Amino acid sequence: MILGRVVGSVWSTMKASNLDGQRLLIVQPLTAELKNTGKRVICTDATGAGAGELVYWCRGRESSFPFLPKEVPTDATIVAIIDSVDVRAK
């Protein structure tokens, strides 16, 4: 899983029928120290996350598992909303 922050949403009037009813959110990947890292990613949302929220997201085949038995064609999905992060000094 990867830390990220929801920075926007995607609206589409035409999409694959398996994506009907799915929210698509733009997520900025973050380091453990909550600093931006990497390119923004479009994720399906399995949690009801909103703009500005800190989230966990996953990639690959596992990203479709939260929607089973429905088959959602996704490569990235938000799977958790994070309440807080505690990073201990080394």
Tens of pLDDT, residue by residue over 46-64, are 999 999 999 999 999 889 9
Residue 15: pLDDT band with limits 50, 70, 90: confident
Q: How high is the pLDDT of residue 89? A: 73
Mean pLDDT of 19-39: 93
What is the pLDDT of the chain when averaged over all its residues? 91
Spatial contact of 80 and 45, defined as CB atoms under 8 Å apart: no
Alpha carbons within 13 angstroms on the beta-carbon side of residue 70 total 13
Q: How high is the pLDDT of residue 59? A: 94
Q: Looking at beta carbons, which pairs linking 48-53 to residues 24 or more positions away fall under 8 Å?
A: 48/81, 49/6, 49/25, 49/78, 49/81, 50/6, 51/6, 51/7, 51/8, 51/9, 52/5, 52/6, 52/7, 53/5, 53/6, 53/81, 53/82
Place of tokens 């807080």: 84
| CATH of region 2-81 | 2.40.50.220
Q: How high is the pLDDT of residue 1? A: 75
As a whole number of Å, the CA-based R_g of the chain is 13
Q: Tell me the per-residue pLDDT of 60-90, one tens digit each, with 9 for 90 and over.
A: 988 999 889 988 999 999 999 999 888 777 6
